[in-house]
Amino acid sequence: MQTKTYAVTGMTCSHCVSSVSTEVGQIPGVTDVQVDLANGAVTVTSAQAVDDDAVRAAVDEAGYELVG
């Protein structure tokens, strides 16, 4: 198992959390997504390493942006 945390900007409500969780959760290999609205942190757990560009694209699809 691999776990990586990303910083996301623009999330302000529970709908934001749901959108990001859904999009990131659709990435192949992702087994869990935890979103901390207060800190803007998204923790992704996967069976193998997940490409950062895939996470960036999923967050973008949800309408938000990765920091960095």
For the chain, the residue count is: 68
Instruction: Label residue 48 exposed, middle or buried (CB < 10 Å: 0-12, 13-18, 19+).
Output: exposed
This prediction has a pTM of 0.93
2-66 is a CATH 3.40.50.300 domain:
no
Q: What are the two backbone dihedrals, phi and then psi, of residue 54, each rounded to the nearest 5 degrees?
A: -65, -40
For residue range 8-54, list pLDDT tens digits in order: 999 999 999 999 999 999 999 999 999 999 999 999 999 999 999 99
